[in-house]
Structure 1
Amino acid sequence: MNAVPPSDGAVPDWERMFTDMFGANADAVIEQLRAAGIDPASLPGDAGPMNPQMLQAALRQVQQFLATDSPQGLNTNAARDIARQVAASAGPDPVVSDAERRGVVGAFQAAELWLDAATSLPPASVTHAAWSRAEWVEATIATWNALTAPVAEAVTEALVRVLSEEMDGVDGLTPFGDLNVPGLADGVISPDVFLRRLGAMVFGMQVGQATGELATEVFGTTDVGVPLVEGTRVALVVTNVEAFARDLDIDAREVRQFLALREAAAARLFNGAPWLRAHIIALIDEYARGVQIDSETLESTVREINPTDPEELRRVMSSGIFAVAKSPEQQATLLRLETALALVEGWVDAVSAQAALPHLPSIIALREMIRRRRAAGGPAEQTFATLVGLELRPRRAREATALWELLSAKRGVEGRDEVWSHPDFMPVAADLDAPQDFIVRRDDSVSGALANFDAELEALLSGDLGLGPDGESTDPSDQ
């Protein structure tokens, strides 16, 4: 809310301070503050007289924003800061205690022992951790920035184009031309660069909002089917695990153990199939780069708002600015991505259930609760769907679970797990409808490969390698 100006017509203290600091550019810098979501007149709030230190801190924040180039189309600092704020505003997020940490690590250690009997994939060399929501944000924000960067570039370019047209008539901004702002490396910033950085900041704020909301919902680092932490860490978010357990009529230690088991199973999968994480991220990137912005919707919406207000720009970006129609290439990529996510979730579901069955009395109820939770999705998932035009949800996870369970029953644990040895061996979307056909086709492929190997080995042992007396090939195609 804007502060009420002095009734006697005197110049407010904050405005005088701006004039002292910025001289002839004071009005322009005030506009930059407002564009960054800061109302300089309301900075004192209800605390009484103007606090110069507070104002200077706000100005430093704006100068940092103006000086931050965002080559990926999003301001990563804004994403991180907003994510931390959103996660903190959701409720208490205490530092993980030593006792809680020991409990989580113990659950992971038990999970590794149980998984040895349920999968042929070896344990991953990882560090087991117990995190607060804030720690989860810090550990995963880089991945979210990378996943959204392709769309951010397209959105920022579209915003710059539309805002450049709309802001031609905005008082206090364009009349100044290049702005001379203290704190910038070269001392000036052009309106075009300002708009580009404004767009990057707004998109970064959107990414931060969604990431912060996710931080209040996730259990670990693999909930969305993509390992959000690159490296050797797996973790549980203690506050979220405890909240989930409170809503169930199941012992909290059993709930924690089951969630640790799922996280450890996913870690084994991505460790045993080192190509998998890069494969999924590449599919997300390929899909995102084909996203089209609905320019008409964007233009008509921007006309109805104040284009220097980041909050209003955020609402525009949350209202659906992506073209509904998808290209054939995008549809094909989306099908491959959804299938990959389903196969990951299906394998984790099947293996963790098999591992838990002898140990957890409530495994059936816990498994069903996770399935329902996954199917329903949450507000954070919907936010990201709006943000990048993509739902990171394994739509056909149940069918994928059935495929892995059938393959395990027919060919054993090793036969099931060796499918992950190469992307060419993976089931495709049609195989989820007919898993038996996939098994038959895979058996035929393996049999054919073995027959070729036997023939080549026989030729080697008999000396009949297709070579003439002088050691040259007798195959006409080699001549």
Structure 2
Amino acid sequence: MNDLPFGFSPSGDGDDERRAENERRKNERKDQSGSGGSAGGAQNPFGFAPGGEGFDPGSFDPSQLGQMFSQLGSMFSGMGAGMTPGSGGGGGPVNYQVATNLARQQIGNFTPVLDKETSAVTDAVRLAEVWLDDVTTFPSGVRQSVAWTPVTWLEESMPTWKRLCDPVAEQLSRTWEQNLPPEAAQFAGPMMGMLTQMSGMAFGTQLGQGLGQLAKEVLTSTDVGLPLAPEGEAVLLPEAIAKFAEGLEQPAQEIVVFLAAREAAHVRLFTHVPWLRQRLLSTVEEYARGISIDFSGIAGMTEGVDPQELLSNPAKLEELIGSSASFEPTTTPEQQAALARLETLLALIEGWVEQVVSTALADRIPSVGALTETMRRRRASGGPAEQTFATLVGMELRPRKVREASALWRQLVEAGDIATRDGVWAHPDLIPDAEDLDNPAAFIDGVIGGGVSSFDDPIAQLEATLAQERAEKSAEDAGSDDSDTDGPDGREADPRDR
């Protein structure tokens, strides 16, 4: 569709304002990269090449690490100055400066956001909010509606990606060092800092490739199921939405409002369910921290390596580090349980949003059913978000039971009302688990029969239980005393017989 509403413009528009902005950004990138940049850097982000210019393996002195770092830094020119070891972003388990620079390169040219597009996002979200008010007890959580470019999405979402990727990268880095052959470890001891830098760059490269592709495809800030925008912000990405609309046979205006409603519904849920954001991210962290890495393959690779070669040939180090970063993590039963909890939580969030948006737009947007099914297929097919997580965190970020979750939320409304459905989010112990999604009738019976109200005041519930137990105990004691005052024939015993 090329008839986009609210001021949205299709990709490739010849607007003079866009051309001027693109030219300005292009010049800025040239200034930042400097005259030493090379196109080959993107193909070989580490810049290592056997026998590279300026590097003589035979004359290498392990004590002269400063010169090596200088040589390595000059090889990273294709990735920008930020890739130089020791620069900002390279001190942790993942070199996020590498990730950011590589992702920016992969994004390439992008369409700057115009004022009319920001106004369009505000209008679409405001309209969706009015309709959502009728179908949920959660009030609006949107404080600001904004339009992002792919680069803005990358910058704003990076703190969340750091939180999710650091745990497994830290463990992988430690395991790599612990599994280094003793002979190699003895020679490479002075270079362990360099190995850490290279490991961080390997992870940064993989993360940058995934995020660079993802930044060009996401439609909203919650498109991957995680809250990536600052709290209270509703975000749409006009350039990606324009490309998304071109492949559909639905009115473009309906597509924009549909996506705005989904974003606004996500923001409401994350804003007014205070435990949800933390629980979601903590579950991902819990899963990542417990992953074990099978390094038997690395051990096999290093058996035939000359330890001196690790010192004299950076290309060999690059090969080992790069191979270790791409090894498939193995998961324990505890991590499998965490993964199941995460998938269920993602499905419940997506199912609630799907149900709320479908109900709110059913009588207002004819294409809401087709668009809902389109989003389901888009999610089921996977994409760069799932690939990034599968590589870096060892999990597929995919809610597998969205249809079941959506049906459960709908049945709760049918059996009770909107307040009953939304009340389930009041406490994390109230939300359904995977078994409840498979058997929703039992869960719904529990909620309608008072399952939710029992958590309204847990202290009062405990006091009532204790009071009931005391009353039963008193009744038992009273009955026992009464029986002691009766004679053998049932009449009251003579006190003189006691």
- Tell whether the structures are fold-level matches, with TM greater than 0.5: yes
Given that residues 141 and 268 in structure 2 are in contact (C-alpha distance below 8 angstroms), is that contact kept between their aligned partners in structure 1?
Answer: yes
- Matched residue, 1:241: 241
Q: Distance in 2 between matches of 1:355 and 1:193?
A: 56
Listed as ranges, the matches of 1:338-417 within 5 Å are 338-417=343-422
- Pairwise CA distance, 1:252: 1.6
- Matched residue, 2:208: 208
Given that residues 232 and 271 in structure 2 are in contact (C-alpha distance below 8 angstroms), is that contact kept between their aligned partners in structure 1?
Answer: no
- Matched residue, 1:110: 127
SS at match of 1:390: coil
- Matched residue, 2:86: 66
Given that residues 151 and 288 in structure 1 are in contact (C-alpha distance below 8 angstroms), is that contact kept between their aligned partners in structure 2?
Answer: yes
Q: Distance in 2 between matches of 1:316 and 1:422?
A: 44
Aligned AA (1:330) = Q
Distance 1:444 1:155, change over 3 A: same
Is the deviation greater in 24-33 or in 211-220? 24-33
- Matched residue, 1:84: 104
Q: Deviations over 1:447-468 (max 9, x none)?
A: 66799969989x99xxx9x89x
TM-score, normalised to structure 1, is 0.75
Aligned equivalent of 2:340, options 335, 343, 356: 335
Q: Distance in 1 between matches of 2:461 and 2:195?
A: 66
Q: Distance in 2 between matches of 1:455 and 1:341?
A: 32
Listed as ranges, the matches of 1:13-92 within 5 Å are 15=54, 31-32=68-69, 38=75, 61=82, 64-68=84-88, 72-88=92-108, 92=109
Q: Which runs of 5+ in 2 are unaligned?
A: 1-39, 42-52, 472-476, 478-498
- Matched residue, 1:50: none
Given that residues 163 and 195 in structure 1 are in contact (C-alpha distance below 8 angstroms), is that contact kept between their aligned partners in structure 2?
Answer: no
Q: Distance in 1 between matches of 2:144 and 2:456?
A: 39
- Matched residue, 2:323: 316
Aligned AA (2:328) = I
SS at match of 2:435: helix
- Matched residue, 1:295: 295
Distance 1:296 1:34, change over 3 A: farther
Distance 1:165 1:118, change over 3 A: farther
Given that residues 317 and 387 in structure 1 are in contact (C-alpha distance below 8 angstroms), is that contact kept between their aligned partners in structure 2?
Answer: no
- Matched residue, 1:277: 277
Distance 1:450 1:257, change over 3 A: closer
Q: Distance in 1 between matches of 2:230 and 2:65?
A: 43
Q: Distance in 2 between matches of 1:374 and 1:164?
A: 43
Is the deviation greater in 270-279 or in 149-158? 149-158
SS at match of 2:231: coil
Aligned AA (1:253) = Q
Given that residues 102 and 209 in structure 2 are in contact (C-alpha distance below 8 angstroms), is that contact kept between their aligned partners in structure 1?
Answer: yes
- Pairwise CA distance, 1:338: 0.8
Aligned AA (2:336) = Q
Q: Distance in 1 between matches of 2:203 and 2:461?
A: 58
- Pairwise CA distance, 1:231: 2.3
- Pairwise CA distance, 1:76: 2.3
- Matched residue, 2:451: 445
- Pairwise CA distance, 1:397: 0.8
Q: Deviations over 1:418-454 (max 9, x none)?
A: 1101101111110001111101122243466799969
- Matched residue, 1:140: 157
Distance 1:165 1:132, change over 3 A: farther
